[in-house]
């Protein structure tokens, strides 16, 4: 079915072979509609890229735009930097923002989408994660901008993971032979696999030994991986950390054991730099990713069929803060 212009609830009802009240119940996520009828109506809505009017959404008299931001973790420092930028811009543009958490869970993410579909939200900014799949992807095509990982067929604001690892590695490779890397498991495609593989490639290219350990996103995991690393390799001279939380754990371990080595991390954490002022870091400008995402989303909402606003964005360049 081709894109439908100026379509109404009455038209949706006719195409789906149901009553207007049934369509209204589906739009407002109300009970009393069979699974088969609901699926049929949602399919027509998706194919026609239908967005109900304000009155149809039960929001008569409410003329604000409403968007949602789906973060992976509410306690993520980097995502909160991006979120802060989004909220600041939305405040100046009189846009209401609903903040949700996916917990890296595909089921939870799609439950959020279902709820937002029923409310007919104007648009969504979502932090992507590995193995993310969208239900009713066609409906959301011109309504979502992703941050972090590329999501096929959707606009994505992507971090320069390779560039970030390379900047720290080149800094240390000029001084040291034994450079370790503590990253995230390869199941995570961007922060994990992409950064891990580039570290391995850089070691091979420079003919230096590779020492790679994988933590999770917690600082306690970073601490434990640092402990394991030094139990096996006492001669390590520098460590590159994939995230600020990992760096915090590594710094705590080195401080407790009196180890004076160079530590660099990818991210931007004012508290971490305050506690350990001699760290090197690469700033991926996550706050700017939030600004780019909201700008891109608003253009997408305004010009849904304009190819100029359909392009993904690679966040670059990274900023390297040199060692002190």
Does residue 72 sit in the same domain as residue 106? yes
The phi-psi region of residue 113 (left if phi > 0; otherwise alpha if psi is between -120 and 50; otherwise beta) is alpha
Residue 95 neighbours by CB under 8 Å, 6+ apart: 64, 65, 66, 67
Q: Are residues 165 and 279 in the same domain?
A: yes
Q: What is the pLDDT of residue 146?
A: 95
pLDDT of residue 59: 42
Q: What is the pTM of this model?
A: 0.75
- Is 323 inside a domain boundary? no
**Structural domain boundaries enclosing 156:** 65-160+287-318
Residues 169 and 279 both lie in one domain: yes
pLDDT at 63: 57
- Same domain (yes/no): 155, 187: no
- Strand, coil or helix: 4: coil
Q: Is residue 324 part of a domain?
A: no
Q: Phi, psi (5° rounding) for residue 215?
A: -105, 180
Whichever domain contains 246, its CATH number is 3.40.50.2300
Query: Which residues lie closer than 8 Å to 140 by C-beta, 6 or more apart?
Result: 113, 124, 134, 154
Residues 156 and 8 in one domain: no
For residue 272, give both structure tokens: 């971490």
Both 76 and 57 in a single domain?
no
| 140 in a structural domain | yes
- Could you list the pLDDT tens digit for every one of the 324 residues in the chain? 445 656 778 888 888 888 888 887 787 667 788 888 888 888 888 777 676 654 444 443 445 789 999 999 998 888 999 999 999 999 999 999 999 999 999 999 999 998 998 888 899 999 999 889 898 788 888 899 999 888 888 889 988 899 999 999 999 999 999 999 999 998 888 889 999 999 999 999 999 999 999 999 899 999 999 999 999 999 999 999 999 999 999 999 999 999 999 999 999 888 998 999 999 999 888 889 999 999 999 998 888 776 655 566 766 546 666 544
Same domain membership, residue 243 and residue 142:
no
């Amino acid at each position: 079915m081709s894109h439908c212009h100026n379509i109404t609830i009455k038209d949706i009802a006719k195409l789906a072979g149901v009553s207007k009240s049934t369509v209204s119940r589906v739009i407002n996520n109300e009970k009393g509609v069979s699974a088969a009828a609901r699926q049929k109506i949602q399919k027509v809505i998706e194919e026609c890229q239908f967005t109900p009017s304000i009155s149809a959404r039960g929001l008569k008299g409410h003329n604000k735009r409403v968007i949602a931001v789906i973060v992976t973790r509410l306690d993520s420092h980097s995502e909160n930097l991006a979120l802060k930028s989004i909220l600041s811009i939305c405040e100046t543009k009189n846009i209401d923002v609903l903040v949700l958490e996916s917990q890296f869970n595909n089921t939870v993410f799609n439950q959020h989408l279902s709820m937002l579909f029923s409310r007919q939200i104007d648009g969504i900014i979502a932090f992507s994660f590995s193995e993310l799949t969208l239900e009713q992807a066609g409906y959301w095509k011109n309504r979502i901008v992703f941050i972090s990982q590329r999501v096929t067929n959707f606009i994505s604001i992507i971090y320069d993971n390779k560039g970030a690892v390379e900047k720290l590695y080149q800094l240390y490779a000029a001084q040291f032979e034994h450079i370790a890397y503590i990253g995230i498991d390869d199941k995570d495609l961007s922060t994990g696999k992409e950064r891990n593989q580039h570290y391995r490639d850089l070691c091979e290219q420079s003919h230096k030994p590779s020492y790679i350990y994988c933590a999770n996103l917690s600082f306690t995991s970073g601490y434990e991986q640092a402990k394991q690393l030094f139990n096996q390799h006492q001669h390590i001279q520098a460590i590159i950390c994939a995230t600020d939380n990992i760096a915090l754990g590594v710094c705590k371990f080195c401080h407790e054991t009196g180890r004076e080595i160079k530590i660099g991390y990818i991210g931007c954490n004012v508290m971490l730099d305050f506690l350990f002022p001699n760290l090197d870091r690469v700033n991926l400008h996550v706050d700017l990713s939030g600004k780019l995402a909201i700008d891109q989303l608003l253009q997408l909402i305004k010009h849904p069929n304009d190819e100029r606003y359909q392009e993904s964005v690679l966040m670059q360049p990274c900023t390297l803060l040199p060692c002190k």
